[in-house]
């Protein structure tokens, strides 16, 4: 990646080992207001996420459910805190379950790989968001490019 | 049931300007109060040249940028009433900065119809949106899988 952006370094390649845990992120319980706010910010105005009457008409839903993308956003916040937003090269998730009002989401992750691409140090990991009962809502993977200590000297 | 002959079809390009205020709005809606997303001054104080892109900010480019998305998905023959989001993936190719104007092109890259019990069926579609910046440089690929019942 060509870049003229001097990104602050949160983490060095040498400091990460396969099997390391990413500091977990516990979010406040999900509120209706947050879903309304997220709808406005993201532009996803599907009434399934804001209108309780609409959700009740859809079989298997029964009330408001969160945007899956909000939960991916929680995982994005964890990764932003860990490697910084400019280090990310890839970030993908699968949506596995519906998140409802008052659910408390915890995001976790683990480093699965360390490798080099064209001299650039990269880490790959798996991430997950689950509720207070351990039900997984989102699972996925990411790749980030990290600077080496020697480059910074 | 969606129209299989549409696989490979691309839709007309759309454009979206990357706005600092929208990045801030998204980060706050997610509940991320990291100052780097709040203002250029705070981002610069932390060593960034400007407010960086929040990892899931590309979702705004699609919803706010491609105002014809609903009509485009309907034209593929799917029922939007029961649509679920199955997967989302971003490949960040180059930095995206506030003030950049992105052009996105959405393509239906894959699709299948799965038969369920009692004559029901669901369509599983994958669309890819490739973004370039005002200099024609590829900056981001977004892929999403949606399930229409």
**Interface check B60 vs A, CB under 8 A:** yes
ipTM of the complex: 0.95
| pLDDT above 60 (res B32) | yes
Is B30 close to A38, i.e. CB distance below 8 A? yes
* Strands annotated E in B13-60: 14-17
Task: Give the pLDDT of residue A7.
Answer: 60
| pLDDT above 60 (res A73) | yes
CATH number for the segment(s) A13-152: 3.10.129.10
- The shortest C-alpha distance from B3 to chain A (Å) reads 24
Please give the residue of chain B at the shortest CA–CA distance from A6. Answer: B48
**Interface check B124 vs A, CB under 8 A:** no
Task: Give the pLDDT of residue B121.
Answer: 83
Domain borders along chain B are 4-18+57-148, 20-52
User: Counting Cβ atoms within 10 Å, is residue B81 exposed (0-12), middle (13-18) or buried (19+)?
Assistant: exposed
Neighboring chain B residues of A4 at a CB cutoff of 8 Å: 49, 95
Mind listing the pLDDT tens digit for each residue in B72-93?
888 888 877 778 899 999 999 9
Architecture of domain B4-18+57-148: Roll (3.10)
Residue % of chain B over a pLDDT of 90: 74
Mind listing the pLDDT tens digit for each residue in A15-66?
999 999 999 999 999 999 999 999 999 999 999 899 988 888 877 778 899 9
Alpha-carbon gap, residue A87 to A82, rounded angstroms: 10
Task: Give the pLDDT of residue A119.
Answer: 84
Domain borders along chain A are 13-152
Least confident of A77-81, B63-67, B126-130: B63-67
Alpha-carbon gap, residue B127 to B38, rounded angstroms: 31
Mind listing the pLDDT tens digit for each residue in A78-121?
999 999 999 999 999 999 999 999 999 999 999 999 999 988 89
Q: Beta-carbon neighbour count of residue A63 at 10 Å? A: 15
Please give the residue of chain A at the shortest CA–CA distance from B87. Answer: A94
Dihedral (CA of A108, A82, B18, B108) sign: negative
Is B95 close to A86, i.e. CB distance below 8 A? yes
Average pLDDT value over all residues in chain A: 91
């Amino acid at each position: 990646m060509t870049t003229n952006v001097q990104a602050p370094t949160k983490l060095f390649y040498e400091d990460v080992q396969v099997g390391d845990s990413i500091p977990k992120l516990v979010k406040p319980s999900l509120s209706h207001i947050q879903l309304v706010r997220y709808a406005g910010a993201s532009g996803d105005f599907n009434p399934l996420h804001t209108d309780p009457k609409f959700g009740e008409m859809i079989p298997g839903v029964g009330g408001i459910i969160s945007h899956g993308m909000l939960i991916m956003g929680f995982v994005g916040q964890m990764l932003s805190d860990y490697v910084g937003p400019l280090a990310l090269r890839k970030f993908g998730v699968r949506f596995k379950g519906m998140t409802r009002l008052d659910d408390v989401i915890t995001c976790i992750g683990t480093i699965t790989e360390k490798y080099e691409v064209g001299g650039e140090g990269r880490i790959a990991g798996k991430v997950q968001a689950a509720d207070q009962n351990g039900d997984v809502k989102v699972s996925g993977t990411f790749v980030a490019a990290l600077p080496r200590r020697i480059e910074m000297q | 049931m969606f129209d299989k002959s549409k696989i490979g079809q691309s839709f007309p390009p759309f454009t979206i300007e990357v706005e600092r205020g929208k990045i801030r709005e998204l980060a706050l809606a997610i509940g991320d109060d990291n100052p780097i997303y709040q203002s250029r001054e705070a981002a610069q104080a932390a060593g960034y040249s400007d407010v960086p892109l929040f990892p899931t900010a590309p979702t705004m480019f699609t919803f706010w940028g491609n105002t014809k998305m609903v009509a485009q998905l309907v034209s593929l023959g799917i029922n939007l009433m029961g649509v679920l989001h199955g997967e989302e993936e971003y490949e960040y190719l180059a930095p995206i900065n506030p003030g950049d104007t992105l052009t996105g092109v959405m393509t239906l890259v894959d699709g299948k119809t799965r038969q369920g019990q009692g004559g029901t069926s669901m369509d599983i579609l994958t669309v890819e949106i490739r973004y370039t910046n005002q200099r024609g440089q590829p900056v981001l690929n977004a892929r999403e899988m949606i399930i229409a019942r």
